[in-house]
Structure 1
Amino acid sequence: MATTAVVFDLDGTLVDSAGDIAEAVNRTLDGLALPRVAEATVRGWIGDGVGNLVATALRHSGSGQVAAAVMPAFMQHYHACLLRSPRLYDGVMDTLQALQSRGMPMAICTNKPSALVPPLLQHLGIAGFFAHIVGGDSLPQRKPAAEPLRHSAALLGQAVDQCLMVGDSATDLQAANNAGMPIVLVRYGYPRDLDLDAAAAEAVVDDLRELLGHIG
């Protein structure tokens, strides 16, 4: 079946933002007089939304703090660190330009808070490629629920099974499976404990430019 639209995850798929997210987490921990954690550790926590991220950081630190009480401080730091040092992965700009030249509609479906997505895309020079953004707070549900991907397809005016999801994690894989949307996974992102080679994906790519060969 021909692909008529592409829905991209953001962090770990298009953008390496782990350093900035880790710094936001660590500034939050600083404010609670808790020890900082390594960026590599935080990379393993990214992808399930900010609430889970903060809750995991608090559990890791042994704090008895409730995540909901810490969220306002974390969000302040998240905003402050958003444009600190994000970078596009190799091949992202080339791939987006090639898809745009083919007239391929594209959207972002991420668990990142929706208000933080446009400034990040603008900063990196890729905002103009995406017709729609579905963030982690755009709907009552977030990935791995099916609704964000189904909503992305609806916004693009395409059938779910004719859209292609591109992501990097078990959260993306489960969301695609739940929605009935085919998925291509990238190997370079934040896979956490996902066995990429055993995943039921259309393909696993090392460079996003390889995606172009999987889109008819």
Structure 2
Amino acid sequence: MPEAVLFDLDGTLADTAPDLGAALNRVRQDYNLPPLPLATLRPHTSQGGRGLLRVGMGVTPQDDSYVELYRRFIQHYEERLCHHTTLFPGMAELLAQLEQRRIPWGVVTNKSERLTHPLLQQMDLAHRCACIVCGDSTPNPKPAPDPLLLAAQLLGLPTQNCCYLGDDLRDIQAGNACAMMTIGVRWGYLGTEHPPETWGADHLIDHPDEVSPLLRPAR
């Protein structure tokens, strides 16, 4: 049974969509465009700036305007990184349970180090993480297994002794690729193309309180 728990950040550990969506809408405001509802933006939040700029500005990294739009997006996001971001309901209780049971937990995200560390610090979580692996911590981000392999190495555990929670197909692909127990969470952003039932996760859950029964007994 897993001895450590790793979390995706956006859409799994924390609801970052309000601040990311606000940054996208400030980009739209820069171009005299009206704001988009958060409900429209939320499903694309796990894909970060790339996904939000695609739905919000109609551009992809192949477009000439993408670099400038992405620069503006990151600038706006950094200015208000943690104004409305919160842990998902039940997550604070889960983290407290893990710590009480002496089960280490960490974060593995495709978010850059430049954004991840300040965000976790502002949420007062950074000092509690046993490891933090970001999108630029390894040459290949998720869905490659590299970030999860690094996290297991930092924890000093075999990958099969860890589990990984995520709200996106890429999370499950990365975990499955390194023999880690994978847990798909239905409370996250989930994307728009692949329903969670098709991800191939070992478990699908609806609330953080479903995690503890999947772990090793308390010491």
State the TM-score, normalized to the length of structure 1: 0.89
Cα distance, 1:29 vs. partner? 2.0
2:196 equivalent to 1:196: yes
Amino acid at match of 1:88: L
Partner of 1:5: 4
- Shift in CA distance, 49/148, structure 1 to aligned 2, threshold 3 Å: farther
Partner of 2:159: 160
2:57 equivalent to 1:58: yes
Cα distance, 1:13 vs. partner? 0.8
Cα distance, 1:59 vs. partner? 1.8
Amino acid at match of 1:178: A
Q: For structure 1, which segment, 9-18 or 68-77, has the greater mean C-alpha deviation from structure 2 after superposition?
A: 68-77
Q: Match of 1:85, SS?
A: coil
The one-character-per-residue Cα deviations of 1:105-137 (angstroms, maximum 9, x if unpaired) are 221001122222233223333333212211122
| Pairing of 1:1-216 with structure 2 (within 5 A) | 2-59=1-58, 65-193=64-192, 194-216=194-216
* Contact 1:25/1:74 (<8 A) preserved: yes
Q: Segments of 4+ in structure 1 off by > 4 A?
A: none
Q: For structure 1, which segment, 190-199 or 103-112, has the greater mean C-alpha deviation from structure 2 after superposition?
A: 190-199
Cα distance, 1:140 vs. partner? 2.2
- Matched residues, number: 213
The one-character-per-residue Cα deviations of 1:179-213 (angstroms, maximum 9, x if unpaired) are 32211111111111332234422222221121001
Cα distance, 1:71 vs. partner? 2.2
Amino acid at match of 2:203: A
Cα distance, 1:37 vs. partner? 2.3
* Contact 1:49/1:136 (<8 A) preserved: no
Q: Match of 1:183, SS?
A: strand
* Contact 2:167/2:184 (<8 A) preserved: yes
Question: What is the rounded CA distance, in whole Å, between the counterparts of 2:154 and 2:118 in structure 1?
Answer: 21
What fraction of aligned residue pairs are identical, expressed as a percent?
34
Amino acid at match of 1:145: A
- Shift in CA distance, 113/56, structure 1 to aligned 2, threshold 3 Å: farther
What are the ranges of 5 or more consecutive residues in structure 1 without an aligned counterpart? none
Question: What is the rounded CA distance, in whole Å, between the counterparts of 2:197 and 2:118 in structure 1?
Answer: 34
What are the ranges of 5 or more consecutive residues in structure 2 without an aligned counterpart? none
Question: What is the rounded CA distance, in whole Å, between the counterparts of 2:59 and 2:36 in structure 1?
Answer: 9
Question: What is the rounded CA distance, in whole Å, between the counterparts of 1:66 and 1:150 in structure 2?
Answer: 35
Amino acid at match of 2:180: M
Question: What is the rounded CA distance, in whole Å, between the counterparts of 1:92 and 1:128 in structure 2?
Answer: 17
Amino acid at match of 2:16: S
Amino acid at match of 2:18: G
Q: Match of 1:107, SS?
A: strand
Q: Match of 1:27, SS?
A: helix
Amino acid at match of 2:210: E
Q: For structure 1, which segment, 164-173 or 133-142, has the greater mean C-alpha deviation from structure 2 after superposition?
A: 133-142
CA RMSD of aligned residues (A): 2.1
Q: Match of 1:47, SS?
A: helix
Amino acid at match of 1:172: D
Question: What is the rounded CA distance, in whole Å, between the counterparts of 1:174 and 1:66 in structure 2?
Answer: 31
* Contact 2:108/2:151 (<8 A) preserved: yes
